[in-house]
Amino acid sequence: METRLQAEDIQKTFILYLQGGKKLNVLKRVYLTLGAGECVALTGPSGIGKSTFLRVLYANYKPDSGRVLVFHRGQWINTVEADPYHILDVRRYTIGYVSQFLRVIPRVPALDIVAEPLQRLGLSPDESRLQAQDLLRRLNIPESLWEVSPTTFSGGEQQRINLARSLIYPYSILLLDEPTASLDEKNRAVVIQLIREAVARGTAIVGVFHDREVRETLATREFDVSTEGTE
Amino acid sequence: MIFSKEPLLKVMGMTKYFGDRVGCRDISFELWPGEVLGIVGESGSGKTTLLNTLSYHLEPTRGIILYWSEQQGLVDLGQLSESQIRYLMRTEWGMVRQNPREGLRMRVSAGANIGERLMALGVRHYGRIRKEVQKWLERVEIDTDRANDLPETFSGGMLQRLQIARNLVTQPRLVLMDEPTGGLDVSVQARLLDLLRALVAEFNLSLIVVTHDLAVVRLLTHRLLVMRHGEIVESGLTDQLLDDPHHPYTQLLVSSVIQV
């Protein structure tokens, strides 16, 4: 199994200066090696740092120490130390991340938001939109909403837009933070199927899945951020 | 976006004093092709001084500004003559002011505001100028019927879009913007942000945007500098700074945003 990502000795403390410099010691020496075709479910009680760890892997949070090595365009890059320009390149080509929030410019239609990652990689606007349509159809987003900005969508619809943005391109690494949290049963099944297809393609996944059924269906192994992997 | 091996701009230790008073001090950063850099900080923190010093409207007290010019290769702005700098600013750089009235000529038509920039570069063919004017009015979503109107008759959002067209018609590689969405209605702001993002992608354009609006920062910029008292207190990837601010002042800025 080819290694896609390696997190070494990750420590993360938050210092809250507005609260008198209070320190929150969240991650203590976490190590994780992730291979192609693996789907690792982060476990442990809530508040233990699962989402924090995902964000560190995406370089959205900066750890106090340690390295996050990502296999990107044929070489290893440590995103803890990399320049923003290179981190953004990693996010364009290698790592997709599905958060629980959708942050978009209000005026842009859903279809263009989903097509954007492909366009950024140089695919023509028409071809990008075509692929976005296929995915939105699979995710049961009614055609009447495609030309509308998702800022007005329901929670479940926004979540599916977020997912579509990350599933439209075959990133070699996907980070999923509660990807099915606000979905009904029918759409949850669709999303599970799409994630399984990604894993079958060799995508390496790290996710937080609160829903036990989803976790048991998808995960190839579980990883407790608070105890396992620490040395 | 095309991945580049070299930055577009490299600023090292740029400092500007006004007598004893610090305008900005020890400013260092890199900007890459196609990248949008945001500069935030409270009023009086030196953001606008930084822009004006960078573009040599003010001469830096010390520091080095390196620019990878399309026509001249790597240049040190400090080594260029005044006329060489002016030429560079007219061709490869642009400047969008917060108040479009300062960046536009209010007594000539909208079309002339765009066309005269081309004429300044020696384009003489009238038909070509007219075509470019039309193309740019359309690109910034201004009805081409308005080409002969004076800017005075335009709304605030239209004026700002016209100022952007005036800057982009010469195909600059770097555009500096001072509060480009300041004073605009929220819906007009969204439209302008959408336009700027599309232009950045289309032309692999680099922007430096001074703003105090963190929503603009999140949606438009890739890289961020946080300034206080003329100095950079924190810099890095935009979403990292907003979601995981390390400096007390950045934490204060981020937590002061009113959520809607």
Whether residue B3 lies within 8 A of chain A, CB to CB, comes out as: yes
A26 inside 8 A of chain B by CB: no
The shortest C-alpha distance from A108 to chain B (Å) reads: 7
Q: How far is A87 from chain B (nearest CA, A)?
A: 8
- Domain assignments of chain A as residue spans, ordered by start: 3-103+170-224
Nearest CB neighbour to A87, from listed B187, B201, B237: B237
Q: Which two tokens stand for residue B202?
A: 């289309």
CA distance A169 to chain B (A): 16
Separation between Cα atoms, residue A37 and residue A203, nearest integer Å: 5
Mean pLDDT in residue range A11-24: 95
- The whole-angstrom separation of Cα B204 and Cα B35 is 8
Judged by a CB distance cut-off of 8 A, whether residue B139 touches chain A is no
A45 pLDDT tier (thresholds 50, 70, 90): confident
ipTM computed for the complex:
0.92
Provide the pLDDT for residue A228: 58
**Which pLDDT score, from 0 to 100, does residue B183 have?**
79
Q: Which of A1-10, A155-164, A172-181, B116-125 has the lowest mean pLDDT?
A: B116-125
Quick one: CA torsion of A144, A149, A151, A155, rounded to 10 degrees? 30
Cβ <8 Å between A59 and B240: yes
Residue with tokens 């606007």: A125
Nearest-CA distance B1 → chain A (Å): 6
Q: How confident is the model at residue A84, as a pLDDT?
A: 96
Q: Tell me the pLDDT band of B259, cut-offs 50, 70 and 90.
A: low
Q: What is the rounded radius of gyration, in angstroms, for the C-alpha atoms of chain B? A: 18
Residues 201-230 (B) with a CB less than 8 A from some CB of A: 201, 218-219, 222-223
Model confidence band, residue A230 (pLDDT cutoffs 50, 70, 90): very low
SS3 assignment, position B95: strand
pLDDT tens digits along B201-254: 889 999 999 998 999 999 999 999 999 999 999 999 999 999 999 999 999 999
Query: What sign does the dihedral A187-A192-A195-A201 (CA atoms) show?
Result: negative
- Measured between beta carbons, which residues in chain B are less than 8 angstroms from residue A106? 187, 190
Cβ A120–B190 below 8 Å, yes or no? no
Residues A52-75 have pLDDT tens digits of: 999 999 999 999 999 999 999 999
Look at residue B81 and give its three-state secondary structure.
Answer: coil
What is residue A146's three-state secondary structure?
Answer: coil
CATH tag, A3-103+170-224: 3.40.50.300
Residue A230 DSSP label: B
Average pLDDT (A22-32) is: 94
- Residue of chain A nearest B35, judged by CA positions: A85
pLDDT digits (tens, 9 = 90+) for B139-192: 999 999 999 999 999 999 999 999 999 999 999 999 999 999 887 888 888 888
Q: Tell whether B28 lies on the interface with A, counting CB pairs under 8 A.
A: no
**Is B35–A85 a contact, with Cβ atoms under 8 angstroms apart?**
yes
The DSSP bridge partners found for residue A8 are: A67
Confirm or reject contact between B188 and chain A (CB < 8 A).
no
